[in-house]
Amino acid sequence: MRLLNVDKSQVRTLALAVVFLLSGSFVHAWGAPGGAPAPDIVATKNGTVKGVVNDTTITFFGIPFARPPVANLRWQPPQAASSWTGTRDASQFGSRCPQTTPLPANENEDCLFLNVYKPRISAIKLPVMVWIYGGANVQGSADIYNPTPLVDTGKVIAVTINYRIGALGFIAHPALDKENHPFANYGIMDQQLALTWVKNNIQAFGGDPANVTIFGESAGGLNVLSHLISPASKGLFKNAISESGAYELDTPTLAASEALGTAFANQVGCTAQTAACLRALSVATILANQGPGGTGGAQGAAHNQSTIDGKILPESQRSAFKAGRFNKVSTLLGANKDEGLIFVAPNITADAYAQFAGALAARAGKDPAAALAEYPLANYPSPYFAAAALLGDSSFACSARQVSQIISTKVPTYEYEFIDNGGAGGVATHGSEIQYLMNTIAGGPADLPAVSQELATTMRKYWTQFAKTGNPNAVTTPLWSKYQNYQDVLQYLQAPTPSVTSDYAVRHHCGFWG
């Protein structure tokens, strides 16, 4: 065969073109047809970002939505990010917010970044799902969650966000709280600014700013409920999903949280109780003395997980829901069957169980002796399972049902109970549903047994359909009816096919817990 009469430079050019075409990188390298911008380059309000084209998604990591909350901006409401010139590389995650274990310790306060995952399709006005991570509002980070399975299943845009955690995100202290700015719930304010960024910028990525769903697990689920009652969150989202997040409906008072902050100040040497002394502390000192995140300031924590500050959270979640003073959007929420298993020591003794049960009962305003009678050791294989059942029922299962009973008369409400009977040893403890929805550092849907993968696919369809319409139902999924008080029926997320459960209140002793 006779070759065309072309010089060597032309041959190289043709060869490169073939490589780009075969590798699927032609649009990525040369731009879209007609001179349109490449799909991995997006102009935000603050500047242009360049992401990464993957097999099924285009991702943009480490986009700043706020100025670094350092120096005088520590313990201040977040300030909108500064603009930049040129094109910002968005191929790497931003720093995690300061925290200790179980993630690697980090002391970098410049951490207010978000990440965008969009399907590799040409579309506009796609539904948007914003993920708020859990971790008792003292641990966690956006980069340990990869929502690609949700994006692939539902053709939605997913956004994961960082927010200040621990004492840096949730401390209340009289000196800080008198500075004439919103206070205490700085992590909630970070989330609100991130949602504002989404509202102002997501259209450039192909998303619909008028159709945003917030969803989160554990403290992330608690924060979702906080956004439901926060006037400052009004208009920032259309739907809400709270996974295992209804454990602190009686939001701590400002006085209770300020007492913890004052004790913290004394502990770190700021005995004069000044804001200047607190802001001069090193991050290492704050992390070493803030204690664990705990509901009600348990175990010596320097802060509560949220606080009634009068503005961001004007009242407790429970009172706001009961009075109808909340942002009325479609809501999906629930809990897992065995929530308490990861919160209790497996070797707990019978005597320790009695003390544990008494403490939980007292916190809930119940008689300790009555709690022990409700959960007698004879009904469980060991004190461990008795304690886990008592904690899971009181803090998660029945409190989620309480929210549904209250808000279902005012907004479309869908409640679930998740039971992993195909993976994770046949139990569904706290957080185990996340792997069914997205990839995590512990694995993703593809790592589940086949029977659980079938359930995982259905769950992702439910979650993304809810994000599209405020209703989880589609022609390809089993019917999920709205929660109604008179029926008290929940969707039972079991493998391989979800069904309904009508004995939830009995199994979880909700008659006792209210």
pLDDT in tens, 350-387: 999 999 999 999 989 999 999 999 999 999 999 999 99
Give the pTM: 0.92
What does the domain layout of the chain look like in residue ranges? Answer: 1-30, 42-327, 352-514
Residues of the chain with pLDDT under 70: 1-37, 294-299, 421-426
- What per-residue confidence (pLDDT) applies to 456? 97
**Which residue has tokens 């139990």?**
427
Superfamily (CATH H level) for 42-327? Alpha/Beta hydrolase fold, catalytic domain (3.40.50.1820)
Q: How far is CA 192 from the centre of its chain?
A: 13
Q: Residue 514 has what pLDDT?
A: 86
Question: Given this model, what pLDDT does residue 300 score?
Answer: 76
DSSP 378-436: GGSSSHHHHHHHHHHIIIIIHHHHHHHHHHTTTS-EEEEEE--SSSGGG---TTTTHHH
Q: What percent of the chain has pLDDT over 70?
A: 90
Residues 108, 379: Cα–Cα separation, whole Å: 49
Tell me what pLDDT residue 16 has.
29
What is the rounded distance in angstroms from the CA atom of residue 165 to the CA atom of residue 137? 5
Instruction: Tell me what pLDDT residue 123 has.
Output: 83
Cis previous bond, 496, omega within 30: yes
Task: For tokens 């979800």, name the residue.
Answer: 498
Give the sheet arrangement for strand 239-243, strand by strand: 52-53, 57-64, 113-119, 157-161, 126-132, 207-217, 239-243, 330-336, 413-418, 490-493, 499-501
Q: What is the pLDDT of residue 22?
A: 27
